[in-house]
Chain A
Amino acid sequence: NAGVTQTPKFRILKIGQSMTLQCAQDMNHNYMYWYRQDPGMGLKLIYYSVGAGITDKGEVPNGYNVSRSTTEDFPLRLELAAPSQTSVYFCASSYIPTRATNEKLFFGSGTQLSVL
């Protein structure tokens, strides 16, 4: 029962470095999401995808890129890391869109990223 798997769990980057946060789900969910949570703040949506080959921006997309080549995987790319991107990153998935009455999001355990 893997659910949503995020790697790595922790990472420290230097300013200007690049990295990819991995997210994979084994529930055949069409909808996948990336959120970030800054200290003392709620989760904010970075990008989301409604299916393979389809992605769209959320509230805070600047500085990130995503791709969705398969149903299972939804990696998040940071090209030039900045201190403002220090945060906890959560990936989530759902079988149906969030506006549906019986929708339910499944979350990964998060990636704690520090940019120094």
Chain B
Amino acid sequence: GAGVSQTPSNKVTEKGKYVELRCDPISGHTALYWYRQSLGQGPEFLIYFQGTGAADDSGLPNDRFFAVRPEGSVSTLKIQRTERGDSAVYLCASSPVTGTEQFFGPGTRLTVL
């Protein structure tokens, strides 16, 4: 069956621009997670959703980062006024319910010039 998909696979933007990264979880999975992975590092937790609500957003680095999941399926990670330090691979994962195995997508590589 279809796994977690993320679009775009690559995004190049200029400093100061706004970007949206999309995650399509596995159908029926109620929990959805966003992570950021810098080169040579492990994934860093950003936020997770249980259904439509953000259950824990303690990993969002600052108020330029925001994520939504309005219908409890697709999620969008939004980054305002991008900075060069935001360059990383943004990973999305979903699980059937919170606390069970997370299935990761391939990530979106964001480059801020």
A and B are interacting partners: no
Residues on A lying within 8 angstroms of B by beta carbon are none
